[in-house]
């Protein structure tokens, strides 16, 4: 691979490359988002694409366009994708949708990787894209699942935070370098309201319709018959303007919601989980 300069992130990137170089073959738990894609690209840089496998968990919580995009980005990097079907939706603890939902999801993914991918692809290690900012957040129970399954987190260990990961992605010219964060569809359902394939399909259809209208970064929070839209600040006014308001209402109602509302606070990461974590900590 051609030499490139990572500027202020050079030493941290070298830390990641050295971590991968300790292994013969590595799997990366991969979603196609900027964190896991950057990790995948660095693994390929350290070992060569033929010694790396991207492992994509597929379930109703993964939107169809995210699945397609993930394959496109992996193809750009030159690493093969192995899809594993995950069944977290069959787990009553996941369905209950407590603040630990992500633990059950990641536990299912890492279990499937252990059971079906590691031996088949002769993997010495599995890594996932937790970054240094994620490692400090209290609303990331999936991190506990990674620890239990001895999954590596090279980005976080190297001190690469979200901003640094995006800088590295731009240097590597990854197609997803500017891609908005895309948490799984289950994150749109309030905690302690059951997660179901039907609700996930509603959210996916509504968000897909909004993106087709030009709202590239959006969340559709599922409140029964009510869809609460979280949009970028500049998009809030656009969504409620007379020229587009009817189209917004049509695509969201067409997904099965009866009422459509726009949250004036905009997009809120951890909107459902953080308040519960803060309350538990007292």
Which residue numbers are catalytic?
184
Phi-psi region of 98 (alpha: psi -120 to 50; beta: other; left: phi over 0): beta
* In contact, 272 and 228? CB cutoff 8 Å: no
Q: How far is CA 44 from the centre of its chain?
A: 20
* In contact, 94 and 191? CB cutoff 8 Å: no
Question: What contacts 105, CB < 8 A, 6 or more positions away?
Answer: 61, 86, 88, 94, 142, 184, 186
Distance CA 86, CA 117 (A): 13
Select from 22, 56, 19 the least CA-distant residue to 36: 56
Alpha carbon separation from 163 to 16, 48, 155 (Å, rounded): 16, 26, 12
Write a three-state SS string for 136-152: HCCCCCHHHHHHHCCCE
* In contact, 220 and 229? CB cutoff 8 Å: yes
Distance CA 161, CA 170 (A): 14
């Amino acid at each position: 691979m051609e030499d490139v300069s990572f500027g202020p992130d050079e030493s941290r990137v070298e830390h990641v490359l050295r971590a991968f170089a300790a292994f013969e073959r590595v799997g990366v738990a991969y979603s196609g988002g900027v964190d896991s894609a950057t990790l995948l690209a660095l693994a390929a840089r350290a070992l060569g694409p033929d010694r790396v496998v991207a492992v994509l968990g597929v379930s109703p919580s993964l939107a169809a366009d995210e699945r397609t995009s993930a394959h496109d980005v992996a193809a750009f990097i030159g690493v093969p994708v192995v899809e594993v079907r995950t069944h977290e939706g069959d787990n009553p603890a996941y369905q209950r949708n407590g603040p630990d939902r992500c633990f059950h999801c990641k536990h299912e993914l890492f279990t499937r990787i252990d059971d079906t991918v590691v031996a088949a692809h002769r993997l010495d290690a599995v890594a996932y894209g937790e970054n240094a900012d994620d490692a400090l957040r209290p609303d990331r129970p999936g991190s506990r699942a990674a620890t239990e399954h001895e999954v590596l987190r090279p980005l976080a260990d190297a001190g690469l935070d979200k901003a640094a990961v995006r800088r590295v992605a731009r240097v590597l010219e990854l197609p997803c370098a500017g891609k908005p964060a895309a948490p799984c569809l289950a994150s749109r359902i309030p905690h302690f309201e059951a997660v179901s394939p039907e609700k996930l399909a509603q959210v996916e259809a509504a968000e897909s319709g909004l993106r087709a209208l030009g709202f590239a970064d959006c969340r559709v929070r599922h409140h029964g018959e009510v869809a609460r839209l979280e949009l970028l600040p500049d998009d809030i006014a656009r969504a409620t303007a007379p020229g587009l308001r009817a189209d917004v209402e049509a695509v969201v109602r067409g997904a099965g919601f009866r009422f459509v509302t726009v949250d004036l606070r905009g997009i809120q990461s951890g909107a459902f989980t953080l308040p519960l974590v803060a309350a538990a900590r007292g």
